[in-house]
Structure 1
């Protein structure tokens, strides 16, 4: 399927141009043939007039001069032939050029003033014939048919030559037309390139809306896209505000419940019930935090973000080094300079925080972060030298919808958040064995 609009228009225009040329070619050839035949007829008629003016009647006998004004009649090798027939159709004179020709022609003398036709000789060679009936010759009554002939071969040569030239000129005109159409379409579609450039800027976050500097036919589209962008931006803002209000409204009741549980915990008889209450409060807090993270870490509709990887690793690694300072974890990096991932900064921070926290918690001494670009895909790999994850548990851990309440060892709500973030960016998450001996989380994101 051809996806280029310019190429589609070019192919359509080329097909129409070829069809037009194909229809024009026979019409031009026919027009040339008719014009050439008319020219031949006029020439033969002029040559007949020469013969008529040269003829004389002496005692009812036709006489012709030995040398005619038209030189072609006097040359044996000439293709212009002259004949005179009497009323009964008997040949009474032929030009010097016709002496060696074996053309058989019988004039009808049927009252027609002149006749223009074609005949063939015994060998199949065709001739143009112009026949004029004469009743008065040299001022005296005399009935004759004055005939001039010309081989059709010259006519065919001219027609074939014209056809060859026509092919060359029309082919050149077609190529020139295609080049002009290509340039014209490029100029006409320049506004599309401008629109594409503005959309790229919106995806990169360099501008917020499309400009109005586009053709009238595209303003309806640009206005619709701008309304969509504004609606998305407003909806996202409302979403964040509502989630913030929800989190704030739930924080106070949970704090109150936590305080009540701590008060009740002072009495030994309530210790078991308090433990259940505190467990449920903690679970509610985690679920609220997870749902807030899940809702806010979503890919924006038209906007593409880039987040640098090294600065975030510095921030997260520094914090985790303090938390796990007793383990003295070594964070190794295999990242190209200035490498960035196609994620919002907040989404990447949340994803790295969860994966690195798991790696720091489960590793022995080493955590490694690798990143590279493979074609249009970005790949991020986080490994550790810990105990790893049994193969029988990997599918369940990565299954969308697994939450903390499944009580899965070593994996909780953080992995679910990571999976949701990757899914929202149309990415892939795989859990493998690491060369370091532990778990390896491999993330692939489209650019």
Structure 2
């Protein structure tokens, strides 16, 4: 399938131009053939006039001069043949040029005066014939048929030469037309290229909307896209504000309940109830955090983000090294300085934070972060030398809808958040064994 609009238009224009020229070519050939035949008819009529002016009637007999004024009648092989027949169809005179020709022709006395026709001989050779009936010759009453003939091969040779020139001319014209069409389409589609560049800038975050410097036909499209962008930004902003309000309104009652639980814990007879209350409060708090993070970390559908990875890794590893300073974790960052990940910075920070915190917490002392890029794909891998994940648990914890926090209260929601973030970017999260001996989490992005 041809995906280029310019190539499609060029192919359509080429087909139309070719069809037009193929239809025009026979018409031009026919018009030239008719014009050439008319020219031959006029020339033969002029040649017959020469014969009529040279003919004389003496004592009732036709007399023709030895040499005619038109030298083509006097020289053999000139192609111009002259004959004079009487009323009975008997040949009474022929020009010298007919010596090498054997033409079988019978004049017609039909009262039309003259006739232009095309005859074919038994040998297959064709001639143009102009036949004139003369009743008054040299001032005396006479009845003769004066005939001039010309071989068709000269006409056909001229016509073939014209056809060849037409083909060459039409081919050159088609080539020139295609060049002009390509140039015209390139100029005409320049606005679409400019719009494409603006969309690229929009996806990369270099601009917030499309400009109005476009043809009228594209203004409705750009206006609709700008309204969609504004609506999306405003909706996301309202959504975040609503989430912040919801978090604030729920955190305060939970804090009050947490205080009540601590008060109950100090009473000896209510410690079990206090433990249950504290557990449920913690679970509710985790669920609120999870749902808020899950809702707020969705990517924009119109903007393509790209974040440099190394600075975020350095910052997160520095923070986690302080949290887990007693473990003295050795971190290897196999990541180029300019390596980028196609994610929003907030989502990437949340995803890396959960995976690195998980690796630091479970590792024995070694964590490795690697980055690899191949045509069409980018892979980010975080490994540790901890106990790993049992093979029978890997698929379950990576399936959509499985939440470790709901299956194991108080155990956190890190992997669930990571899975949702990865899914929102059409990436793939896989879990396997690490060469370090622990777990290896791999996030694969499709770049096409």
Q: Same fold (TM over 0.5)?
A: yes
**1:35 maps to what in 2?**
35
Aligned partners of 2:425 and 2:270: how far apart in 1? 47
**1:360 maps to what in 2?**
360
**2:221 maps to what in 1?**
221
Aligned partners of 1:50 and 1:374: how far apart in 2? 90
Aligned partners of 1:97 and 1:277: how far apart in 2? 130
Aligned partners of 1:49 and 1:144: how far apart in 2? 14
Aligned partners of 2:287 and 2:409: how far apart in 1? 18
Aligned partners of 1:84 and 1:337: how far apart in 2? 104
1:110-149 alignment runs, 5 A limit: 110-149=110-149
- Does residue 439 (structure 1) correspond to residue 445 (structure 2)? The answer is no
For the residue of structure 2 that corresponds to 1:84, the secondary structure is: strand
1:376, distance to aligned residue in structure 2 (A): 3.0
For the residue of structure 2 that corresponds to 1:420, the secondary structure is: helix
**2:61 maps to what in 1?**
61
**1:250 maps to what in 2?**
250
1:18-417 alignment runs, 5 A limit: 18-407=18-407, 412-417=412-417
Is 2:283–2:409's contact at 8 Å kept on the other side of the alignment? no
Aligned partners of 1:443 and 1:201: how far apart in 2? 26
Aligned partners of 2:201 and 2:346: how far apart in 1? 21
1:407, distance to aligned residue in structure 2 (A): 3.3
Is 1:403–1:412's contact at 8 Å kept on the other side of the alignment? no
Aligned partners of 1:315 and 1:254: how far apart in 2? 31
Is 2:402–2:416's contact at 8 Å kept on the other side of the alignment? yes
Q: Which consecutive segments of 4 or more residues in structure 1 shift more than 3 A?
A: 404-412
Is 1:103–1:122's contact at 8 Å kept on the other side of the alignment? no
Is 2:279–2:410's contact at 8 Å kept on the other side of the alignment? no
Alignment RMSD (CA, Å) = 1.3
Is 1:363–1:438's contact at 8 Å kept on the other side of the alignment? yes
Aligned partners of 2:393 and 2:368: how far apart in 1? 22
Is 1:102–1:121's contact at 8 Å kept on the other side of the alignment? no
Is 2:282–2:410's contact at 8 Å kept on the other side of the alignment? no
1:337, distance to aligned residue in structure 2 (A): 2.1
Flag the 1:409–1:168 CA change in 2: closer, same or farther, 3 A: farther
Aligned partners of 2:38 and 2:391: how far apart in 1? 94
For the residue of structure 2 that corresponds to 1:127, the secondary structure is: strand
For the residue of structure 2 that corresponds to 1:336, the secondary structure is: coil
1:411, distance to aligned residue in structure 2 (A): 7.2
For the residue of structure 2 that corresponds to 1:281, the secondary structure is: helix
Aligned partners of 2:125 and 2:414: how far apart in 1? 98
1:402, distance to aligned residue in structure 2 (A): 1.7
Is 1:84–1:146's contact at 8 Å kept on the other side of the alignment? yes
Aligned partners of 1:385 and 1:377: how far apart in 2? 26
Aligned partners of 1:336 and 1:25: how far apart in 2? 65
Aligned partners of 1:171 and 1:145: how far apart in 2? 48
Q: CA offsets, 1:397-423, max 9 Å, x none?
A: 100122134435997411010111111
Aligned partners of 2:281 and 2:408: how far apart in 1? 19
Aligned partners of 1:409 and 1:374: how far apart in 2? 40
For the residue of structure 1 that corresponds to 2:298, the secondary structure is: coil
Flag the 1:163–1:410 CA change in 2: closer, same or farther, 3 A: farther
For the residue of structure 1 that corresponds to 2:383, the secondary structure is: strand
TM-score calculated relative to the size of structure 1: 0.98
Q: CA offsets, 1:190-209, max 9 Å, x none?
A: 00011111111111111111
Is 2:286–2:412's contact at 8 Å kept on the other side of the alignment? no
Aligned partners of 2:132 and 2:408: how far apart in 1? 115
For the residue of structure 1 that corresponds to 2:100, the secondary structure is: coil
For the residue of structure 2 that corresponds to 1:210, the secondary structure is: coil
The count of residues paired between Structure 1 and Structure 2 equals 447
Is 1:336–1:372's contact at 8 Å kept on the other side of the alignment? no
Unpaired runs of at least 5, structure 1: none
Unpaired runs of at least 5, structure 2: none
Aligned partners of 1:80 and 1:340: how far apart in 2? 88
